[in-house]
Every structure is written in structure tokens, then in C-alpha cells.
Amino acid sequence: MVYTKSINVLNAVQQLGTCCPQACEQESRVATDQLLSILVEEFLLGYSHTSSILSSTNGLFGLELTFTNDKLIELARNEREMDYKLYSTDLLEKWIEQIRHQWPCVQIGQLDKDSYGYSKVTLAYLSCNIEFYLHSDDWVFEIGATPMTSAIVEKNLLLIQQTIFDTASAIGLKPHRRIGGGHFHLDKETHFGKDNSVLFRNFLVDLMNRPELFLGGLSLDLLNAPPLAILSKEQQEAFG
């Protein structure tokens, strides 16, 4: 039997409170983190039998944030690859210095390059046993992290805000409304169980049946995260 449970995203947002991102960005991010936990819990409870409910408390997330600025976008748009890599490396060095100066407790790794010549560095937060990765890429800087539970994110939200978002802002880097497409990954085993393929399948089906999540509930990125409802008939049939 398939257990279903509808999720009213608008009601969830209203219960948490809303605010203008420009006016109070930190409060908005806190609300988003709380909403994420609520949505995941609702999804899992909706598909779990009462005798074997899976909790999202220990579910692992893989975060990927993106930051950019006008010059990075301009260089990428004009395909000035060498200038882009030189500028992004210089920007990453400035970012590292911001973190080193303001947060000496963060252990900063060696500045390195990937196989494509883009610069990258690792930040180790020894006090909470997590790592972040600052990585230059096409159009943006990508920021990844070691897998974390929502509880770990919530516990270290202020630290992440100050060491990542605030230091990025200090050198002119910010998330872009369209370019980059920051996102998160769900670990299959810790969210759905090691052998619970039916729960995982039902989660995906229910997610695709709720296009409002892709059309503003969680994001509005039709290029990177289109709802199944707007894809071609062939793509919809392939999903089924």
C-alpha cells in the first residue's frame, strides 16, 4: 500500500513567518532551514508505516551553495577563460584572507587547482567536525560541504552565516537569483533506509506530483530543476 500525505507549502511558510530577503536575509535563511526540516519530515511520515517510521533527524544532506559577481558573469559570458581563471583565483585568495583574518579558528588548506585549472581550497571547522570547500567554477564559486544533518546545520547556522556568507559579501560575492543554482542532495540510505526502495520510489513520485515546489515553493529554476509537468511527453513516460 502507498501512504500519501499532502503538504501545504504556503501554510508551512506562513507558520514560520515570512520576511523580505533584502530587509532581513539572516531571518529568511533561518526560516528556510526550518522549512526544509518540516518538508522532509512530512514527506517521510507520509510514506512510512506507523510501525516503522523513518525519522529525518539523522538524514544526511549534501549542500552546494553558489556565489558570483558581475565581473565573473561578464568574463564567463564573453568566454574569456584565462582572464576568468586569473580573476577567480585572485578573488579566492582575497576570500581566504578574509576568513583567515576574521576566523583564525578555521583551518584553511592549501590553495590548489582542479584538472580544469580552476582554484579550490578546503576549510576545516575543527570545533564541529565539518568541512567546506570553496571551488571556482564556470560563472560562479561553488561551496560544498561534508554531509550534515539538518540538526548540525541549524546548530552551526550562525557560524556558516559569518564564515561563508558574510566573508563572501565582504569581497563582493553573493548568491545570484538565476545563475548558479545552489541546491542540496539527500542521502538515500539515511533518509529512506538501506533496503526501502519502495519508500524512495514513492518519495520521487510524490515530489513530481507537486510541481508547486519547483515553481516557487522551494525554488524557481526551470533550467536546472524543472518540474516533470513541463517536460516533454517522452520525458514523462521515461520517468514512469
Domain ranges within the chain, ordered by starting residue: 1-59+188-209, 61-186
**What does residue 120 show for φ and ψ, rounded to 5 degrees?**
-155, 160
Position 150 scores a pLDDT of: 83
Inter-CA distances, 95 with 25, 60, 154, Å: 21, 28, 24
Q: How many CA atoms, within 13 angstroms, populate the side-chain half-sphere of residue 49?
A: 7
pLDDT at residue 103, as a whole number: 94
HSE at residue 214, side-chain half, CA atoms within 13 A, is 17
CA distance 139 to 200: 33
Number of CB atoms found within 10 A of residue 239's CB: 11
Report the C-alpha gap between 27 and 128 in whole angstroms: 23
Question: Is this model's pTM higher than 0.75 or not?
Answer: no
Of the CA atoms within 13 Å of residue 67, those in its CB half-sphere come to 22
Residue with cell 556568507: 165
Cα distances (angstroms) measured from residue 240 to each of 211, 233, 237: 16, 11, 5
Supply the Cα-derived Rg of the chain in whole angstroms: 20
Helix pair 9-16, 25-47: axis angle to 10 deg: 140
State residue 32's pLDDT score.
41
pLDDT at 56: 53
Instruction: Quote the CA–CA distance of 200 and 189 in Å, as a whole number.
Output: 9
- Spell 193-209 as b/e; 16+ CB within 10 A means b: beebeebbebbeebebe
Q: How far apart are CA 112 and CA 98, in angstroms?
A: 18
Q: What number does CATH give the domain 61-186?
A: 3.30.310
For residue 41, what pLDDT is reported?
55
How far apart (Å, rounded) are the C-alpha atoms in residues 164 and 2? 41
Which set of grid coordinates corresponds to residue 26? Answer: 539572516
Per-residue pLDDT at 213: 81
Segments of the chain scoring below 70 in pLDDT: 1-57
